Amino acid sequence: MGKISHIVVLTIGSDGCKKAVDKGIKIAIKENCKITFIYIVDTSFLSGIPRRIHGVNRAEKDLNRIGRIILERAREKASKKEAKVATAIRTGNIMEELERFLKESKGDLLIISSEKRGFLDTHLSLASSKRLEEITGISVLEIE
Partner 1 sequence: MKFSIALILLISVIILIPELVSGMDNINPEIPLEPMIISGLVLVIVYVLIAFDLIHRTLAALLGASTILFISTTLGAFNKNYQILSFNDAIDAIDFNVVFLLMGMMIIVAIMRGTGVFQWTAYKSYELAKGDIWRLTIILMIVTAVLSALLDNVTTILLLTPVTIEIALILRINPWALIFPEIMASNIGGTATLIGDPPNILIGSSSGLSFNAFLFNLGPIALITLLALIGMMYFFFSKEYKKNKNNNVPELLKRLKREYKIENQALLNQCLIVLGFVIVLFFLHDELKMEPSIAAMTGAMILLLISRTHIGEMLDEVEWPTLVFFMMLFIIVGAAEKNGLIPAIAEIVVQISGKDPTSTIVIVIWISGIMSAIVDNIPFTASMIPVVEYLNQVIPGIDPNILWWALALGADFGGNATIIGASSNIVAAGIAERSGYAIRFKDFIKIGMPVAIVSMILSTAYLLIRY
Q: Which is nearer to partner 1, 21 or 138 (CB)?
A: 21
Residue 77 or 84: which CB sits closer to partner 1? 77
- Residue whose C-alpha is closest to residue 101's, from 90, 113, 92, 109: 90
Tell me 14's DSSP state.
Answer: -
Residue 92 and residue 124: Cα distance in Å, rounded?
A: 14
51/84 with CB nearer partner 1 = 51
For the CB of residue 39, give the shortest distance to partner 1 in the complex, in Å.
9
Interface with partner 1 (CB under 8 A): 11-15, 17, 41-42, 45-46, 48-50, 52-56, 58-59, 62-63, 65-66, 69-70, 73, 115, 117-119
Which amino acid would we find at residue 108?
D
Helix 94-105 with 126-136: angle, nearest 10 deg: 30
